[in-house]
Amino acid sequence: MSNQTSVTEFLLLGFSDVRELQILHFVVFLVIYLAVLVGNLLIVMAIALDHHLHTPMYFFLMNLAILDLGSISVTIPKSMVNSLMNTRLISYPGCVAQLFLFVGFITTDFALLTVMAYNRYVAICQPLHYERVMNWRACIQMAAGAWICGIVHSALHTGNTFRLPFCQSNVINQFFCEIPQLLKLTCSDLYLSEVGFIAFGVFIGMNCFVFIIVSYVQIFKAVLRIPSKQGRYKAFSTCLPHLIVVTMFLSISSFAYLKPTSSSTSGLDLLVAVLYSMVPPVTSPIIYSMRNKEIKNAVKKMIGWRLFTKTKRTVFLP
C-alpha cells in the first residue's frame, strides 16, 4: 500500500500536442458521442414507452443500449475534456473508477449478447415453448446474471491491477485507463498477472463464444427447414444483425486484450482502443434499429411524427 500511494495521478496519452488537432479531436469525439447518446436514448425510450415492444427481445435490446451508453460515457467525455483543457491528467481514484466501470460494461455487454443468442435460439428452434421458457421472471434473472457477471469480473481485475505497485512511471499510453497499459507501469513481475488475466479472459470469452456459435448453428438448421422463402428471409434478417455485432465485438476486444502488451506499439494500441471502445456503441443502434420496423415506428410515434404527417396532409388537401 505504501508503494501505491506514491502515485496519486496518471497521465493519459493524448492524440496530439498540436492545439488545432486537439480541438479537432474534441469536435469529432463530441459528434460521435452525441450520436451514440441520441441513438441509444431513443431506443431505450421507445422500448420503455411502447407497450407493443415489451417483449424479451426488446427488453434485452434496451439493456444493451444502456450498456453502450455506459461504456462510451466512461471513456469519451474525459478524453474530450482533456483535449479541450489541454491536459492529460486523471486522478488515481478516477482511473480506478474508469477501469472498473469500463470493464464491467464491456463484460456485461458480451454476457448479454450471449443471452440474446439463447433468446433467438428458443424463439426459432422451440417456438412452442418460448413463452414458458422466456417468461419475464427468466428474462429478468438472465439480465441480472449478465450484470452481476460483469460487476464481479470487473471487480476481480480492477482489484488485481491496482493491487500491484506502480513505480516505473505514471504515463498511460492510452486515452483511458486500460489494464494492459497499467500493467506496464508496475515494478513487480508482470508475467503471472498478465498470464492470469489472459487465461481468465480467454476462458470467459471462449465459453460465451462457443455457446453463441452452437446456438446459431441450431438456428440456421431450423431456418433452412422453413418452407416459405419469406419466412427464411425474416428469420435471417433478425439473426444476422446480432451475429454481426457479436463477431465485431469479440474480434476487436480479443485483439485488444489478448495480445501480448510488450509486442504492440502505442499507436496501434491507441487505434485498437478507439475501435473496440467506440465502434460497438456507434454501430449497435444502427444495426438493431435501422432495419427494425417496430423500433422505427415506435420512435416516430414517440416524437409525434404521425401527428406531424397528418397535419401536413390536411394543409395540402385541395
Instruction: Kindly report, residue by residue over 202-242, the tens digit of the pLDDT.
Output: 777 778 888 888 888 888 888 877 777 776 776 676 677 66
Instruction: Kindly report, residue by residue over 1-30, the tens digit of the pLDDT.
Output: 344 446 788 888 877 778 888 899 899 999
Joined grid coordinates for residue 66: 444502456
152 CB contacts (<8 Å, ≥6 apart)?
A: none
Nearest to 109 by CA among 75, 69, 136, 160: 69
Break the chain into its structural domains and give their ranges.
16-161+170-306
Joined grid coordinates for residue 79: 478524453
Joined grid coordinates for residue 206: 471462449
Angle of helix 190-224 versus helix 92-125 axis, rounded to 10:
20
Instruction: Kindly report, residue by residue over 250-294, the tens digit of the pLDDT.
Output: 777 766 666 665 555 567 777 777 877 888 788 777 777 666 777
Burial of 207 (0-12, 13-18, 19+ CB in 10 A): exposed
For residue 166, the 8-state DSSP code is: B
DSSP β-bridge partners for residue 91: 9
Instruction: Kindly report, residue by residue over 106-117, the tens digit of the pLDDT.
Output: 889 889 988 988
Percent of the chain with pLDDT over 90: 18
CATH class of 16-161+170-306: mainly alpha
Does 178 score more than 90 pLDDT?
A: no
The predicted pLDDT at position 265 comes to 56
- Concatenating the DSSP letter of every residue in 33-63 gives HHHHHHHHHHHHHHHHH-GGG-SHHHHHHHH
The predicted pLDDT at position 247 comes to 76
The predicted pLDDT at position 242 comes to 67
H/E segment holding residue 90:
strand 89-91
Tell me what the mean pLDDT of segment 71-92 comes to.
90
Report helix, strand or coil for 88: coil
Instruction: Kindly report, residue by residue over 92-107, the tens digit of the pLDDT.
Output: 999 999 999 999 998 8
Instruction: Kindly report, residue by residue over 115-141, the tens digit of the pLDDT.
Output: 988 998 898 888 888 888 899 999 999
The predicted pLDDT at position 4 comes to 45
Tell me what the mean pLDDT of segment 245-249 comes to.
73
The predicted pLDDT at position 257 comes to 65
Confidence (pTM): 0.84
